[in-house]
Structure 1
C-alpha cells in the first residue's frame, strides 16, 4: 500500500479550492474513500479522489514545463537572421540552426525556446568564429 504523494495532496487541495467544495462535502468525499483526511489516503485512493474531482469539473493547468513563455515569432526571425548572416555559418538551413540549438540549449527547435534559452543561443551564434 503506497502512501499518498505530496503532489497528490496538493492536487486534491487545489481542486477542492477551485471547485469551491464545502468542507462538509470534501469530508464526505474523503469518507467515501475510507479516509478522514487527504493524508489518510493511499496513492490509489488519491487517484480515485482526483478522478472524482475531475468528473466534477476540475482541470489541471497545461503549461510549459518551466512555466516560462516561449519566444515570439519576432525573436525566432531575429535568431534565423543572425544565423543566416553570420560569416562563420556555412549551412544556412533551418535544420542546421535547430541542430545547433539542440547542441547549445538541449532544446530540439528554436521555436520551443524560452527567452532565457534564446539569449543563450544568440550569444553562442555571436561567439562563432
Structure 2
C-alpha cells in the first residue's frame, strides 16, 4: 500500500497532466493491474510514476543518481520514508542533523552502501522504541 505522500504525488501528477478519472483508473489497471491507487504495490507505484513521466510529468522531488559505492536512489527514498514515519513529518533539517551527529554524514547523497544498512537499522530500532513507549 502506498504511503500518503506517494498517493499525494499520484494525484498531483494526474492533475498536472489533466488526466480524467476514467482514464486514470484505466491506466492504473493497464500499468499496475489494480483498480485503485490504494492497492498499488511498490513496483506498481514505480510503474505508474514511470508512465506519468512518459506522459510528461516532472516531479519536483530531488533526484539522486546511481553511483558506485553509494546508496541507491531507492535506498535513499526508503531511508527518508523511515525518517518521515519516525518523526511524523518531513523534517529535512532534523534528518540532516541526525545523520551528521550519529553517522558523520552531512547529506543523504553521501551515504555509502554499508552506511545505508546501518542507517536503516538505526531508524527501524528508533521507530520500534517509539512505538513501545
TM (norm. structure 1) is 0.45
Higher helix share: 2
Structure of higher CA gyration radius: 1
